Amino acid sequence: MATVYVIDPLDRLMPYTIERDAAHAAGAEFVLGDANAPHMRDADVILTYLVPFDAATIAGLRRCRGIIRCGVGYDSVDLAAATAAGIVVCNAPTYCVPDVADHAASLILASARRIAWFDGAVRRGAWQAAHDAERGMRRIAAQTIGIIGLGRIGRGVAQRLAPFGCRVLGHDPYLSDDQVRAMGVTPLPLADVLRQSDVVSLHVPLTPATYHLIDANRLALMNPDATLVNTSRGPLVDTAALVAALDAGRIFGAALDVLEDEPPGIAHPLYAFDSRRVLLTPHAAASSREAQHDLHHELAASIDALVRGQRPAAIVNHAVIARNTPAR
């Protein structure tokens, strides 16, 4: 009998009833694990949330036909090694798209309107001082928003901001200019988006090519009033360069749901900036009750396909000639 093994069960998905039912219906047993590699070695399908699958870990899998990453990003799985081993890699591509787009748009609006800083000042009894001190805000409709990566989430952010009257620029080397224009977004090279935007919002996957996509040189292209928003992956941004740019006033602010080091230490250098300039949320952009419901069903669909030897819709390594998995 095939085994579906959850290597690092998530509290918020417990007791995995929908995934368990899918495994049983397809004829597999369903095991909640404890990140214990010996059990994992003989699993047919593995679900992982945080446990990384590097080439050495993948080489130790004896029967695996599918690794399912329980989220959108799959940078924790060595795709080349999995593909070479004939292992299908899936993600959960759509479950939280509206939530992350909502969160990015909320960070953009909350930063522009200094919401967190005003709230803190009112609670400290500084109502009048805060009212009088904040002179630098800009009307949202007057701002230019630059979106880097116009996939599911990036285009969702563009849709959310368009009704505010913002000018929306975008950069995505894998889309044609016509595809970008059809989203109501003006396509431009990356450097021009960085130069012209008041807000730059990142929506690209983390890959070797996008690691530190925003480094000191790219930060230097941004305007001194600009805010950088990152709801994608922390390592897209060189944190030391970001702190230096904020410190020197080369950019105004940052609003970040993701950091290079998660969770951050108690003395993270970004804490030096007040909440007018730096807004932080704890990798929570994907969270909502609705997203949780949809995540169960996306995972169950991949379990069903993999156990039955079919090609799952959420496959990310399309080149794989999977063991026990016929090509479409």
What are phi and psi for residue 189, nearest 5 degrees?
-60, 155
* 7 versus 72: smaller Cβ distance to ligand NAD: 72
Tell me how far apart the alpha carbons of residues 234 and 221 are, in angstroms, rounded to a whole number.
Answer: 20
* 23 versus 104: smaller Cβ distance to ligand NAD: 104
Q: Which of 314, 280, 242, 288 is nearest to 74 (CA)?
A: 314
For residue 3, how many C-alpha atoms fall within 13 Å in the half-sphere facing its CB? 15
Q: Report, in Å, the least distance between residue 48 CB and ligand NAD.
A: 15
Identified binder of ligand NAD from the candidate list 48, 196, 197, 210, rule CB under 6 A: 210
100 lines the binding site for ligand NAD (CB under 6 A): yes
235 lines the binding site for ligand NAD (CB under 6 A): no
174 lines the binding site for ligand NAD (CB under 6 A): yes
x/- track of binding to ligand NAD for residues 146-165 (CB under 6 A): --xxxxxxx-----------
Q: Which of 262, 290, 293, 297 is catalytic?
A: 262
Cα angle: 232, vertex 238, 240; to 5 degrees: 135
- Active-site annotation holds for 283: yes
Kindly give the residue spans of alpha helices, DSSP state H, lying in 26-90: 37-41, 55-59, 79-84
197 lines the binding site for ligand NAD (CB under 6 A): no
204 lines the binding site for ligand NAD (CB under 6 A): yes
* CA dihedral (6, 262, 266, 110) positive or negative: negative
Q: Which of 298, 308, 314 is nearest to 28 (CA)?
A: 308
Strand 3-6 versus strand 29-32 pairing type: parallel
Q: Report, in Å, the least distance between residue 106 CB and ligand NAD.
A: 12
Identified binder of ligand NAD from the candidate list 229, 285, 314, 320, rule CB under 6 A: 285
- Active-site annotation holds for 262: yes
Each residue of 8-40: b (16+ CB within 10 Å) or e? ebeeebeebebbbebbeebebebbbbeeeeeeb
309 lines the binding site for ligand NAD (CB under 6 A): no
Q: Report, in Å, the least distance between residue 213 CB and ligand NAD.
A: 6
- Active-site annotation holds for 19: no
Q: Report, in Å, the least distance between residue 191 CB and ligand NAD.
A: 12
Identified binder of ligand NAD from the candidate list 21, 29, 39, 73, rule CB under 6 A: 73
320 lines the binding site for ligand NAD (CB under 6 A): no
Identified binder of ligand NAD from the candidate list 251, 286, 306, 314, rule CB under 6 A: 286
Tell me how far apart the alpha carbons of residues 59 and 62 are, in angstroms, rounded to a whole number.
Answer: 8
Which region among 106-114, 160-168, 172-180, 298-306 touches ligand NAD (by CB under 6 A)? 172-180
Q: Which of 90, 101, 98, 116 is nearest to 158 (CA)?
A: 101
Closest residue to ligand NAD, judged by C-beta, is: 151
Cα angle: 46, vertex 52, 56; to 5 degrees: 90
At 81, the amino acid letter reads A
Tell me how far apart the alpha carbons of residues 307 and 135 are, in angstroms, rounded to a whole number.
Answer: 60
Range 241-280, binding ligand NAD (CB under 6 A):
257-258
Catalytic residues: 233, 262, 283
Q: Which residues bind ligand NAD (CB under 6 A)?
A: 72-73, 96-97, 100, 148-154, 171-174, 203-206, 209-210, 231-233, 257-258, 283, 285-286
